[in-house]
Amino acid sequence: MSEDARENYDETYQNYRRYVNPSLARVMKLAGSVVESHAQGSTVWDHQGKQYLDFAGGYGVFTLGHRHPRVVAAVETQLALMGLATKTMFTPALGLLAKRLAEDTPGALEISFVSNSGTEAIEAALKLARAATNRTHFLATWGAYHGKTFGALSVSGRERYQAPFAPLLPDVLHVPYDDVAAMRAAFVAHPQQIAACVVEPIQGEGGIIVPHDGYLTALRALCDEFGALLIFDEVQTGLGRCGYRFACEHEGVVPDIMTLAKGLSGGIMPIGACISTRAVWEAGYKHEPLLHTSTFGGNPLACAAALEALAVLEEEDLASNARVRGQQLLLGLQQIAQAWPDIIAQVRGRGLLIGVELTHEGYAGVLLPEMLKHGIIVAWTLNQQRVLRFEPPLIITEAEVTRCLEVVALALATARERFGSSLLS
Ligand SMILES: Cc1ncc(COP(=O)(O)O)c(C=O)c1O
């Protein structure tokens, strides 16, 4: 390592240890984390000039890869005019983005609140659901991840992240994911109180859990039967990631409220969105238009980026590429898994949202740094650290997927050497 690179690493690490998050800094160092320098397309370079294929994809942010030229140009054009909004005047880019979201999202989803993150999009959805229904309760699922602000955390499904902040939002009931009978029982126990049922069409941070076909349809029917709203959190699954523009299209089910974020601006600007039907929006906010607002939400830079990103997504047909490359990756990983049944329990996913469940989370501690050493970035899932996630940009090529599969096999061989089968005993 050159002297400059060493200094760059040491300074950044020490700053993290001292000023950002001391404990996380240590864990990241142990996991072999390096310092990111720059990125283009599916490739990231570190402080030493080493190059990596980004198969973690910012946990779904980099759908278009890094720094897509069309999105960069759109943001530069907007910046030359105006950065943030006055909020006292109309912002053209916000109007255009909301119109585009109404056109692109399924069914009668029409009115958008544009936020700065996924968790804010969820807050917007929960508040709108209460205001629109005059009901208090939410149904959510174990293992779910909806963000870490209070409301979003309350409907997330991992006690470890919730307990230190109790009491959270009251009247949130959790049931197991992909369990229609449990959801029905919760509705039956509170027939007049459920404002909304909030669910990810595929659980991302829960460990890439794909529900059985018919689950989303059954949720729609339950919400209709009990007069509740259906919220689909497509923050991670939406925008081509799962081989459809939105993952709920796999079953053709339309929610009353949908949340988006991560890939919405093509990986250039922070943004989120909560899109609802006109009927729901009017029931909640028609007479109180200032009930839910945000200073930075809907700013022209983020909206310009998102508008261009949505155009690229469609024109380059990236959802189809997610399907084709996703199939290559899924089948390749499943084939590898057959040769390593003591280390890999299951491979699952849809499109380019793929999880590899290990038999023991200790293996992740070897596999992740080992893959990094060979130039492939992957990550675990937040609520299930036994699952490695593969979530590359939707522009990923056949050769890049092939390279990733080669590296997975190499890393498994190292894990076997390191542990034998001791982690299983
Ligand atoms: C499904 C889902 N919802 C919400 C969020 C929260 O988004 P953010 O981290 O932008 O607040 C995430 C983040 O991982 C997510 O995966």
Predicted local confidence at residue 256, as pLDDT: 98
Cα 299-300-302 angle, rounded to 5 deg = 70
Predicted local confidence at residue 383, as pLDDT: 87
Q: Is the CB of 234 under 6 A from ligand 1?
A: no
Predicted local confidence at residue 420, as pLDDT: 72
**Site of tokens 């397309």:** 41
Question: Which strand (E) or helix (H) includes residue 114?
Answer: strand 109-115
pLDDT for 244-268, tens place per residue?
999 999 999 999 999 999 999 999 9
Q: Among the atoms of ligand 1, which is closest to the Cα of residue 119? A: 11
Q: Please name the fold of domain 31-60+317-424.
A: Aspartate Aminotransferase, domain 1 (3.90.1150)
The closest residue, in CA terms, to atom 7 on ligand 1 is: 118
Give the strands of the sheet with 36-40, arranged side by side: 36-40, 43-46, 51-54, 376-377
The ranges of the chain annotated as CATH 3.90.1150.10 are 31-60+317-424
The model's pTM is: 0.97
The list of the chain residues with pLDDT below 70 reads 421-425
Q: Is the CB of 261 under 6 A from ligand 1?
A: yes
The closest residue, in CA terms, to atom 3 on ligand 1 is: 146
Span 69-315: which CATH code? 3.40.640.10
Q: Among the atoms of ligand 1, which is closest to the Cα of residue 261? A: 10
Q: Give the distance (Å) from ligand 1 centre to CA of residue 338.
A: 32
Closest CA to 120 of 141, 86, 164, 150: 150
| Ligand 1 probe mutation, 208, 237, 262, 383, most atoms within 8 A of CB | 262
Q: Among the atoms of ligand 1, which is closest to the Cα of residue 270? A: 10
The closest residue, in CA terms, to atom 16 on ligand 1 is: 236
The ranges of the chain annotated as CATH 3.40.640.10 are 69-315
Indicate the DSSP class of residue 28.
H
Predicted local confidence at residue 422, as pLDDT: 60
Q: Among the atoms of ligand 1, which is closest to the Cα of residue 149? A: 11
Cα–Cα distances (Å) from 136 to 52, 111, 172, 194, 333, in that order, read 47, 22, 9, 6, 44
3-state secondary structure of 158: coil
- Per 3-state DSSP, the chain is made up of helix, strand and coil in percentages (nearest 5) of 45, 20, 35
Q: Among the atoms of ligand 1, which is closest to the Cα of residue 59? A: 14
